[in-house]
Structure 1
Amino acid sequence: MSRPEDILPPDLFYNDIESRKYTTNSRIKSIQASMTNRALELLDLDTPSLILDVGCGSGLSGEILSGVPEEHGGPHAWFGMDISSSMLGEALERDVEGDMLLADMGQGVPFRAGTFDAAISISAIQWLCNAETSDVTPEGRLKRFFDGLYASLRRGGKAVCQFYPKNPQQRSMISNAAIKAGFGAGILEDDPDTKSLKVYLVLTVGGGDVSGTVSRMSDVDVQDARRKDKKRGKEFERKGSKAWITRKKAQSEAKGKIVKPNSKYTGRRRKTAW
């Protein structure tokens, strides 16, 4: 089955007909709600916040942000941006509470520095990996997006981007672009090894290990566990990190040695025992 982003650019794919189908489909609405609630759980906001919804579509996620009860840190105010005028038209018809902007996230995030407390993006950023013309590259679009997102968030702010990577290379390209922009980054998988796999890119402004700043992140695969040797201008995996262990195992396998297969526990830090 073809992926939507392989068929047409998002502003053309989500025309009036597709936008209405997306907004009224009960299965899509249920999945969208589940992923938005998961993103909110990972953001772990304990006070009403101003949230940017990147790829807000017809405001399905925004309705959930507006409806967070006070006892769970809400309600949140939100601002959405989307490239599809038809999707935004659906949002206006539904009279959602957030403000919205017609904009291409691949051209940046056009807001004043430090505007938002947090950001979410549901099923959107994989579209950045498709370039419609030869003078536009996925790397350039990803750089403009993550640079702009980083600037738009306040110091200590967080972002959670749920996305559907086409392959491991695309997944790495996206997470590496976030790291280069300055984010502390981690990948969290829900329902791994199933057709219901959901991938979440969890980001913090200011870098660092995201598992220490976002609650319930014991299963996170930290992506920014690299350091740079300034004298030689090279990058090395942090000793003991998942990347370091994986590389060492590959070296051992190449020498004909038997090594244990990787698992979700590979490279995970053990809790301190008292």
Structure 2
Amino acid sequence: KISICTMASRPESSLPPELYYDDKEAKKYTQNSRIIQIQSEMSERAIELLSLPEDPTIRSSLLVLDVGCGSGISGAALTEAGLNWFGVDISSSMLEIALENEVEGGLARCDIGHGLPFRAGCFDAVVSVSALQWLAYSDRSTANPIRRQRAFFTSLYACMSVGARAVLQFYPADELQLQLLLNSAMSCGFTGGLVTDYPESAKARKHFLVLDTAGTRPMPAAQDEAGGRHSTKQQQPMRKGSKAWIMRKKEQYRRKNPDSKALPSDSKYTGRKRKPRF
């Protein structure tokens, strides 16, 4: 069973990111010392999970994509690690703050749900902190989460070099959302799985989607509360007939047939096996 990180308030369910992170919210976000600390720690952990060579000469030759770079907190961690980077974000307000802070990396405004506008094989690694979950929400009538996820993961796979790794930290709302994102990534050619740090702690738990473009590399170990590491199993796409699979199929049907009442309502019994009857 996968433990899900719960949040008191989820901005993803209120407004699209380009509207939620306006000038006021972006300024408040980047002046919050607690947020800066958490984002910096997760960025450093994402870089660690990339498993890049420690040689400074090799690192200085690599180019890393920062998806959802915001005001440049994760970019600062990449610079500190001796890596060149390029960041994309949909919030103009966040990018303006990054420019004011004179970050080392390049910046571009981009809706990742429309796909990434980069040439094939140009990035040696990818990191993302607290951005991926936005792709699981439909913030307008024309936005299809599954289609947006596929556009992102397909273009992400294309712009990564052979053997490159992406580490995407995110906050899933529930297990279904987590499995949908994982399944979307795997269906676009990636291998890898999920690394969950501090799985027994509701407060400290962090999910990292670790994706590779070629072969089957060993999955990095997750952290536990004692500061140790434990092995992480590679995740597989959702099993046909499982509750997550049934929920996804029902959601797809409802989108295609909004006026249809052919499907039964979702309940706690959805996906359960029926008892034999005489």
Structure-2-length-normalised TM-score: 0.76
Task: Identify the match of residue 169 of structure 1 among 161, 167, 176.
Answer: 176
Question: Which residue number in structure 2 is paired with residue 104 of structure 1?
Answer: 111
5 Å-filtered alignment, 1:90-239, equals 90-194=97-201, 195-206=203-214, 208-210=215-217, 212=218, 214-216=219-221, 219-224=231-236
Residues 128 and 215 of structure 1: is their aligned pair in 2 closer, same or farther, counting only changes over 3 Å? closer
Structure-1-length-normalised TM-score: 0.77
Residues 215 and 166 of structure 1: is their aligned pair in 2 closer, same or farther, counting only changes over 3 Å? closer
Specify every segment of 5 or more residues in structure 2 that has no aligned partner in the other structure, as ranges. Answer: 1-7, 223-229, 242-270
CA distance in 2, matches of 1:53, 1:4: 21
Post-superposition Cα deviations, 1:9-59, rounded to whole Å, max 9, x if no partner, equal: 000000011111111111001101110111111101113121000000000
Instruction: Give the secondary-structure state (helix, strand or coil) at the position aligned to 1:221.
Output: coil
Q: For residue 215 of structure 1, report the CA deviation from its aligned partner.
A: 4.5
Task: Identify the match of residue 53 of structure 1 among 55, 61, 66.
Answer: 66
Identity of aligned residues (%): 46
Task: Identify the match of residue 48 of structure 2 among 41, 48, 59.
Answer: 41
Instruction: Give the secondary-structure state (helix, strand or coil) at the position aligned to 2:148.
Output: helix
CA distance in 2, matches of 1:251, 1:138: 26
Residue 77 of structure 2 is aligned to residue 64 of structure 1: yes
Q: For residue 185 of structure 1, report the CA deviation from its aligned partner.
A: 2.2
CA distance in 2, matches of 1:117, 1:2: 35
CA distance in 1, matches of 2:122, 2:46: 19
- Alignment: residue pair count: 226
Specify every segment of 5 or more residues in structure 1 that has no aligned partner in the other structure, as ranges. Answer: 69-74, 228-233, 236-249, 256-274
CA distance in 1, matches of 2:200, 2:19: 32
> Residue type of the partner of 1:114?
G
Higher relative contact order (CA 8 A, sep 6+): 2
